[in-house]
Amino acid sequence: MRKPIIAGNWKMNKTPGEAKALVTELIPMVKDAASDVVVCVPAVCYEAVREAIAGTNIHLGAQNVHFAKSGAFTGELSAEMLKAVGVAYVIIGHSERRQYFGETDITVNKRVRAAVAGGLIPIVCVGELKDEREAGYTDAIVEYQTRMALTGLTADEVKTLVIAYEPVWAIGTGLTATDEQANETIGVIRKAVARQYGQVTADAVRIQYGGSMNPGNVKGLMAQPEIDGGLIGGASLKAPDFTQVVLFDR
């Protein structure tokens, strides 16, 4: 059985003080969670959150990582830098990074390999646009993005990372795939991993749903056999809402 993982993507929200207050409220609420709990916070909040969650079951995550170890990359952070401030997980290839900041399948792969080499656990995002789904290309797109993102990794490395299926048309829109649609597409992703690395690896890798999972739909989504957790946006910014997602089995 794969252990579920619920990760909050705070995006560009919260000052260090606000971040500390949020995780301080969250800590007692999720202390008995059966899933891994991650908060992916803005860079300015790393220190405040790391100190607040020390000794708890909440893990610190980042929202991006650069593929170089160092150099003339203004505004970027390396895996070594993130590791040094207590980051354990890092989101890579989120649809907003692809849409607004020129992320490509090639740069996603470079970042994934750098994160793994630097001792971080990538949360690798893949997903289709609305027009692509309507045209019937969903399976081909998520398989291609998955295979590209994982190129150059070993089977053992792939087993440890997390993949997040995020239908782009459901990000920040309030829309969500049906439970069956999400499960089916995540099954396609798992089959893509199996073709590249074997069934044992595919059975080990955890695949989240990242399309507006919230307290109202989490139970139905998490009842699906292929779905191993969620990458949570808006619902992660309020401790009670995030807790309801984390404790989906209660």
Which residues 6+ apart lie within 8 Å of 47 measured at CB? 16, 85
Residue 94 CA to residue 117 CA, distance in Å, equals 20
If 0-12 CB within 10 Å is exposed, 13-18 middle and 19+ buried, where does residue 32 land?
A: exposed
Rg (CA), the chain: 17
Question: Does the annotation count 94 as an active-site position?
Answer: yes
Helix (H) or strand (E) holding 7: strand 5-9
End-to-end CA distance of the chain: 18
In the block, tokens 């997390």 appear at: 162
CB 246 within 8 A of CB 6: yes
Catalytic hit among 94, 96, 103, 143:
94
DSSP state of 158: H
User: 62 - beta bridge partners?
Assistant: 90
User: Which among 25, 93, 4 is positioned nearest to 236, based on CA atoms?
Assistant: 25
Q: What is the C-alpha separation between 241 and 175, in angstroms, rounded?
A: 17
Residue 166 falls in the annotated catalytic set: yes
The active-site residue out of 96, 128, 143, 166 is 166
Angle, to 10 degrees, between the axis of helix 138-150 and the axis of helix 179-197? Answer: 40
Catalytic residues: 94, 166
